[in-house]
Structures are given as C-alpha cells and as structure tokens.
Amino acid sequence: MKPELIPPATASGVRRSLLDHYDRTARDLPWRRDTDPYRVLVSEFMLQQTRVETVIKYYEPWLERFPSVEALAAADEDQVLKAWEGLGYYRRARNLHKASQIVAERYDGAIPSDPEALRALPGVGEYTTGAVSSIAFGIPAPAVDGNVRRVFARLFDEAAPTPSWLRVVAGRFVSEDRPGDWTQALMELGATVCTPRTPACVECPVVAWCAAHAAGTVDERPAPPRKREVPTRVIPLAVYHTSGKALVQRRPANGLLAGLWAFPELNELGLEDCALSLGLTPRGDSGTLPDVEHRFTHLHARYVPAVLEVEPRPAVNLASDDDAESGAAPWPGEDLRWIGAEGRSDTALPVAQRKVFESWLESME
C-alpha cells in the first residue's frame, strides 16, 4: 500500500492497541528506567547489532565507570575500549567516545535535543537520531531498525520495503502523545512477538490490521536479503613470551579492530624474522596453539597462533638523558606491551585475541 493511502483510523487503531499492549507487557530493561539523554544514547549505541541479553551485562557497569558525558569524554581510549571489551563492533565505542568529547566541548556536556545536531555526532545515524529524539526528548520522530522494518513489511504485506517507503510509513504511525513509548513498543513487538521466524500472530495486538497475516504471506515478509559470500582469511599470529608475559601490539588506527591490542600478525615475515624486527631475540623452540575462529560481518577469520620464547631488548626510556644522547629509540614504546596473568584486565583484547591469550596461559601451566 502506498503510504499516503493509509487511513488515519488504521494508524490510530494500531497505535492505541500496540501502546496498550506495551503498557501491559513491556520488559523491565535497565535503560527503560530513566530517560536521561546520555543513558539513552549509551543504550542505543550498545544495542546496535547486539542482543538485549548481552547489552544488559555491559550497560550498568559502563555507567558506573563513565557516569556522565564529561566522565566519558575525559577517559583514555584504552579505558573506553577496555570497558567495551566483548561487546564487539569496537567502532561504536570509539564513536561514542568521540561524540562525548564533542558534546562536552560544544554543548557543555548536554546531549543536544536538536535532531540535526544529534545526527551530526559520530556514530549517530538516522535510526539513533530517531530513537534518542523520541525516547530522551519526547520528539515525535520515527526510528526504523531491523525489527521495525519487519513489522511494517508484514503489516502492509510489502516484500521489499525501501528506506524511503519505511521513512514515510513510520512517520505516519508515530505517536504525538507518547513518542518514546511508541518507538520502544514497536521495537518490542518486533523483538518479542513479530519475530523473524515463527511470529506469535495469535498474541499480536495488531493482528486485526496485518495484511501479511490475512494473505498468508507472513513467512515471506520481508523477502530475505541475498546472502553475501563471506571470505575466510587465515591469519598467522605470533605469541612471543618471556618470564610469563606475552607481547601484544597496538593495531593500526584504521581497518579491522583499529587501535585495539592484538598479537603481532605474521605476514610476509616468518616467526623468527618478525621477532627480530620487533627487537626480540628468539630463544628456544617454537610451538603452536589451537586455531581460533572468529566471524566478523565481512570476514571469517581463522587465527593460527605460533609460540616462541624470546629475549626482549632491555627497555629504553627516552626520559633518560643517557639514552637520549645515545640516540636510542624508546622500547617497547607505546605500541608494544607485555601482558601476563595479573595485568590482563588492564588491556582491551578483542574476543579472538583473548581466546589465544587464555590458551597460551593454559599452555604455560
């Protein structure tokens, strides 16, 4: 159906029925207890591409660690990535950090209520703008995520809803009186009733208006996206260790897992040559650890770790006049770090790297 043909009575009937249902059945989620804009923004960043059950474990600890925009803005990136460790998609953490710095500097720590200013913050797209505007500021703005897309596709029996169609349809249904609850009620319907597989149509508060249900096409709406082939990449890693500690290296500022700590990758260099290039002297025989597999959105990575005991170069500190005069470079420098069993909680390692680290610790017992 063309959005302009949606009768006002349909929109108000759907709204009333869904909001009643939400009032009766809404899950008690930690981010629903307070509409403080910073808290809402944090929850929306965390919930992007991540399950509610996972976010619940991170949300309160994050707010204890960074209770305000200012606290987050003042934190080091390492502390931010560490608090995000395990949530994945680390770009969100870096964007949230950058957004907090802009808000602290430009808006005196208050998240802007103007949707345009909000949309201009790093990592804030159309969906997040709609969600924060409606939930935190009570602005009647639509917010279309994957759940909402599915609900509207089924309500209107639309096989391939385009972004512009969704924008207009979602805009027609927004509640002027309770915009934040409406946003959450729609997402809740998609997450708990109108699920991708086997939706609970018999319990659905909007079944009376659902065109796909009437046509028997629920399972085909929306049409599934064409599956992309995800390539597999084998990534050899080096676990260099000495005195119960292993060497990790900060990854480049751009690309996969940018800025996070990880074991050095063995590209064109072999295990020993790579050690020498990092200022390490190989000592003893090399070994291996079990492979670790990890699926990124666009890549299936198989990490193949090799282990080698090394003799590190003595640490050189440029603060020392003697070293500065001798022209020595600092070592290990800011991009290399030794981590052992005690200090592991200070360093943010991506999930697969942490598995390699834990398996190395186990092998040393």
Binding residues (CB under 6 A) for ligand SF4: these are: 151, 154-155, 193-194, 199, 201, 204, 206-207, 210, 212-213, 218
Residue 44 is a catalytic residue? yes
Instruction: Write the CA distances from 96 to 58, 59, 68, 111, 260, integer angstroms.
Output: 14, 14, 12, 12, 16
Could you tell me the smallest distance in angstroms from the CB atom of residue 201 to ligand SF4? 3
Nearer to ligand SF4, 218 or 260 (CB): 218
Nearer to ligand SF4, 26 or 102 (CB): 26
Residue with tokens 């006002």: 8
Could you tell me the smallest distance in angstroms from the CB atom of residue 205 to ligand SF4? 8
Strand stretches in the chain, DSSP E? 232-242, 245-250, 261-262, 280-288, 292-295, 300-312, 336-339
Q: How many CB atoms lie within 10 A of CB 342?
A: 9
What counts of helices (H) and strands (E) characterise the chain?
15, 7
Could you tell me the smallest distance in angstroms from the CB atom of residue 184 to ligand SF4? 16
Could you tell me the smallest distance in angstroms from the CB atom of residue 27 to ligand SF4? 17
Nearer to ligand SF4, 135 or 194 (CB): 194
Residue with tokens 């606290």: 71
Q: How many CB atoms lie within 10 A of CB 345?
A: 10
Q: Which amino acid type is present at position 67?
A: P
Q: Which of 44, 85, 158, 188 is catalytic?
A: 44
Q: Which string of b and e fits 295-305 if b means at least 16 CB within 10 Å?
A: eeeeeebebeb
In angstroms, rounded to a whole number, what is the distance separating the alpha carbons of residues 235 and 299?
11
Could you tell me the smallest distance in angstroms from the CB atom of residue 214 to ligand SF4? 9
In angstroms, rounded to a whole number, what is the distance separating the alpha carbons of residues 303 and 294?
8
Nearer to ligand SF4, 216 or 255 (CB): 216
Nearer to ligand SF4, 201 or 316 (CB): 201
Strand partners, 218: none
* Catalytic residue positions, numbered: 44
